[in-house]
Amino acid sequence: MSTSATPSVLFVCVHNAGRSQMAAAFLTHLGGDRVLVRSAGSAPAHTVNPAVVEAMREVGIDVSAETPKVLTTEAVQSSDVVITMGCGDACPYFPGKRYLDWQLEDPAGQGVAAVRPIRDEIERRIRGLLTELDIEPAA
């Protein structure tokens, strides 16, 4: 972990328009200011997937103002935990970082009904990550 008391987590997927956006939103929502959250994509899309926006709105989290961001070496270097979601070899590796690879279905091109189970699985994993980081989830 970093020398500061606030751990930092980076979520990476290809387009930064679905899985990584949902994960970042859940971690921000549940972890608050007790964790620093970033997300990025190896080949970012222009906008967040509309089905993802709708699925997150259903659980009270608004990601409509988010924009996909490009993955940078600096983002990886400044994160304690790097969670990849299908970005393959595009994510730079630095010794000493904690890397997790979450195998999740890609919501690209799918409707809200198909995104809901992906969203729910991401929330489950985020809650587990918070437990690992010794952070009590917000109510």
**Annotated catalytic residue within 91, 104, 118, 122:** 91
Annotation says 25 is catalytic: no
- Phi, psi for 98 (deg, rounded to 5): -95, 120
**Annotated catalytic residue within 9, 10, 12, 13:** 13
Annotation says 87 is catalytic: yes
How buried is residue 92: exposed, middle or buried, by Cβ count under 10 Å (0-12/13-18/19+)?
middle
**Annotated catalytic residue within 14, 87, 104, 118:** 87
- Phi, psi for 99 (deg, rounded to 5): -110, 135
Catalytic residues: 13, 87, 91
